[in-house]
Amino acid sequence: MKRKNIKKLINKWSYRLGLRWWNLDVEYYDNPQEIIRVFGNGDNVVVARSICDWRYATCTLQINVLELLEMNKRDAEFVIVHELCHALVNEMREEGIDHEERVVTGLAKAFLWTETDCKEGGK
């Protein structure tokens, strides 16, 4: 995965997911101290996070560049699609995030499968 490909993936999937009318901001973090400040330094590595507000159609993607660059293109693409899907389901958020996480993971897999199916000749 190369750094220039991160923006390409965000542009590609924000278009495909119908998020171009949202105010989408991206914050890139590549300083280790900033990464700890923003993402923490717990047992689970956070590669990216989205902060969305469906009422105003705003979404900020926070990208842990050092982690994302270590991933292969397919895994990095999954992370981007997953985070953008949070904008699609943010309105359904209940107390906690467990339901939203399950739905977003399923949607991200479905969207990536759809792209693969189209490339292989499926309609």
Residue (of 72, 84, 60) closest to 12 by Cα position? 84
Buried b (16+ CB within 10 A) or exposed e, 74-95: eebbbbbbbbbbbbbbbeeeee
Distance CA 82, CA 71 (A): 15
Distance CA 35, CA 45 (A): 10
Residue 34 is predicted with a pLDDT of 96
Q: pTM for the whole thing?
A: 0.81
Residue 42 is predicted with a pLDDT of 77
For 54-109, how does the pLDDT look when each residue is reduced to its tens digit (9 = 90+)? 889 999 999 999 999 999 999 999 999 999 999 988 877 767 677 788 778 878 88
